[in-house]
């Protein structure tokens, strides 16, 4: 595995942290607002951070890449709960990155059997 695998694992950890943070936000927000659990979509989070970049990204994909990609794939995916989309991306990056280097067992936690 090369440097690309390490980058993929790093992105996997980043998206896993985002997924956990988004899930914690949704779990915490409900009781504070006296509501039941309700997931916040990825688009809602993006709109809160920077609405203009969401509109600009959509326009760029429509004009430069494909309107079908934006309307049929990306826009519906942005409607998914943020924790679910980030979790799926984390899983994909972990699959791409592989298992990484295997560490040799030092025998500190599980002592080796003596022969």
Residue 1 has pLDDT above 80, yes or no: no
DSSP per position, 37-101: --PPBHHHHHHHHHHHHHHHHHHHIIIII-HHIIIIIIHHHHTSBHHHHHHHHHHHHHHHH-S-P
What is the mean predicted confidence (pLDDT) over 63-78?
96
Other CB atoms closer than 10 Å to residue 76's CB: what's the count? 10
Predicted confidence (pLDDT) per residue in 16-33, tens digit: 999 999 999 998 887 777
Predicted confidence (pLDDT) per residue in 80-110, tens digit: 999 999 999 999 999 999 876 655 555 556 6
């Amino acid at each position: 595995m090369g440097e690309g695998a390490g980058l993929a694992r790093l992105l996997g950890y980043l998206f896993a942290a985002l997924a956990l943070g988004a899930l914690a936000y949704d779990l915490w927000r409900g009781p504070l607002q006296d509501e039941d659990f309700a997931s916040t979509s990825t688009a809602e989070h993006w709109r809160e951070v920077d609405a203009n970049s969401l509109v600009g990204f959509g326009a760029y994909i429509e004009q430069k890449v494909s309107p079908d990609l934006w309307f049929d794939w990306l826009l519906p995916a942005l409607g998914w709960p943020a924790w679910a989309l980030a979790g799926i991306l984390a899983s994909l990056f972990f699959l791409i990155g592989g298992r990484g280097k295997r560490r040799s067992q030092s025998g500190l936690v599980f002592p080796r059997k003596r022969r």
